[in-house]
Chain A
Amino acid sequence: MLDKRMTAAEIVAQLSDGMTLGIGGWGPRRKPMALVREILRSDLKDLTIVAYGGADVGMLCAAGKVKKLVFAFVSLDAIPLEPWFRKAREAGQIEVMELDEGMFQWGLKAAAFGVPFLPTRVGLGTDLAALGGLKTVTSPYADGETLIAMPALKLDAALLHVNRSDWRGNVQLFGPDVYYDEWFAKAAAKTFVSCEELVDRMEDHYPDTAQANIFERCFVTGVVEMPCGAHPSSMPPAYGWDMKAFKAYADAAKDPGDWAAVADRFVGKSEADYLNSFGGKEAVAALPLPIF
């Protein structure tokens, strides 16, 4: 179907218990938080989450949605240790597969190319291989080098937040860095995209920025317009991260330390309620871009 418009609830209805979900973005940047919040409002459970983690991972762990996490880090940058992820780990609540950042994208690429693994030196000499059950392969050529076989990170679905899309899934991504969103899209059986701005036909509105179409629409299954959908993570050039909101979220991990007691504040009954509680679209649009 060429018209890929869906509601957030319809997207979540496409997901099921036990699925492996990839979440795009990086730490506190470019996270599809509105879709994550929609998952948090649902009964979905036993998920395997594959992410360069930020509050997406922290919230899903806190809400008990995560069976297994595939990660290289979980961090909010200025708050280096993601407090809710930390709680879940220290309680022994989740299974993990810990990877190097580069191996992680290598695994997405293996999935995208449909091969069972891609070879790499990364992981040799560390505890990763033993802890993650990673196997080695020997080069069949004269060098005979032993390499780690990084398994394909096949995703049942990927969730991404992009700057623009049309209803056919022609996306445009801006900002200084789009991280590995392209490879999440290609590693997934289905990719669902929320966007800051939805237009009818991209070529009628933004033909001059077609180079920002970093993955093609054949990799997009569903599209939903969700302005401010990355909040509290950053979505350059539209808005920066909301460090005040992250701070409140981090503080809540200590006091009261109980997700059920604070979930309403950080998830909301609906996306409109959620945004209103943080000052609405105007307040989000006014968040300055971070300084590095």
Chain B
Amino acid sequence: MTDITLAELCIFAASEAFRNNGEIVATGVGPVPRLAASLAKLTHTPELMMTDGEAYLVEQPVPLGPRGDYKPKFAGYLPFSRFFDSAVWSGRRHAMVTPTQIDRFGQINLSQLGGTHQQPKTQMLGVRGFPGNTIYHPNSFFFPAHTTRVFVEAEVDMVSGVGYNPAKRVPGGNYSGVDLRCIVTNLCVMDFGGTNNAIRVVSLHPGVTFDEVQAATGFPLEKGPLTETALPDAEALAIIAQLDPHNIRASVIKDNPPAIRAN
């Protein structure tokens, strides 16, 4: 099994974020998160709900990219026009997304970098649904390139998603829905299980050291169990291949490295 890629290891690790989540909408934005949610549904957590990426609910996850003769089979309907009522504001969702920045509090940014809000140095997408997602339902993150540019030293440039920063919490607000779960990167798996929800490293991908992860992170990390991230098994690899017939996952991490580093 030496031909397993790091992207496949990340998909397998990220699918664990959705284990036993119950009857909620699992949303993976981007190839690795989407394959992770789909893999979870097809293996350990069949009760997950999922869309076709547009407006319909499917019980059979839809493969990535052009589908040839394959036609998605719709079991239900969840368009954007009812997404907030049904999934987000009811807390019945777990999203895995890739913000541009994240800080020690789990605050995330998808809006702008540098400058001011009136004149940003770099304008990105805008906050999208992050403020609502993060105050109402569980969220996890995937980063294909773990660097200090992503895991920033200070706070993120524009707080687009709620984290565990006490200074940002308006007194009297209800933050019981804030539930940041898991961070999967090209180096490791982390969670928010440290002191006061601090980010801690849970497992290291094969050949990666804690010091290497710390050096790529702009703030001090706590140490969790520091096990080795598990390689995907044959069943998981077969499902991933079937869900991604065009091998889009090969383009996610720079140079598509193997799961086990060649030393």
Residue of A nearest to B174 (CB): A145
Is B126 among interface residues, defined by CB-CB distance under 8 A?
yes
Contact of A103 among B53, B122, B132, B172 (CB under 8 A): B132
Instruction: Kindly supply a per-residue 1/0 record for chain B positions 111-155, scoring 1 wherever the CB is within 8 Å of any chain A CB and 0 otherwise.
Output: 110011111111111111111101110000000000000000000
Contact of A291 among B66, B80, B111, B123 (CB under 8 A): B66
Instruction: Kindly supply a per-residue 1/0 record for chain A positions 249-282, scoring 1 wherever the CB is within 8 Å of any chain B CB and 0 otherwise.
Output: 0000000000000000000000000000000000
Contacts of B210 in A (CB 8 A): none
Chain A: interface size category: 35 or more
A137 to chain B, nearest CB (A): 10
Bound CA–CA A98/B62 (angstroms)? 33
Contact B178 A125 (CB under 8 A): yes
Contacts of A292 in B (CB 8 A): 52-54, 62
B169 to chain A, nearest CB (A): 6
Task: Using CB atoms and an 8 Å cutoff, list the residues of chain B in contact with chain A.
Answer: 52-56, 62, 65-67, 79-81, 84, 88-89, 111-112, 115-132, 134-136, 158-163, 165, 168-175, 177-178
Bound CA–CA A73/B124 (angstroms)? 9
Contact of B80 among A73, A145, A179 (CB under 8 A): A179
Contacts of A291 in B (CB 8 A): 65-67
Bound CA–CA A17/B92 (angstroms)? 43
Contacts of B56 in A (CB 8 A): 176
Given contacts A26-B80, A81-B125, A177-B80, contact A128 B119 (CB under 8 A): no
Bound CA–CA A144/B172 (angstroms)? 7
Given contacts A90-B120, A121-B177, A138-B172, contact A177 B81 (CB under 8 A): yes
Bound CA–CA A194/B177 (angstroms)? 41
Contact A122 B131 (CB under 8 A): yes
Contact B172 A98 (CB under 8 A): no
Contacts of B163 in A (CB 8 A): 125
Is A91 among interface residues, defined by CB-CB distance under 8 A?
yes
B55 to chain A, nearest CB (A): 4
Bound CA–CA A147/B127 (angstroms)? 19
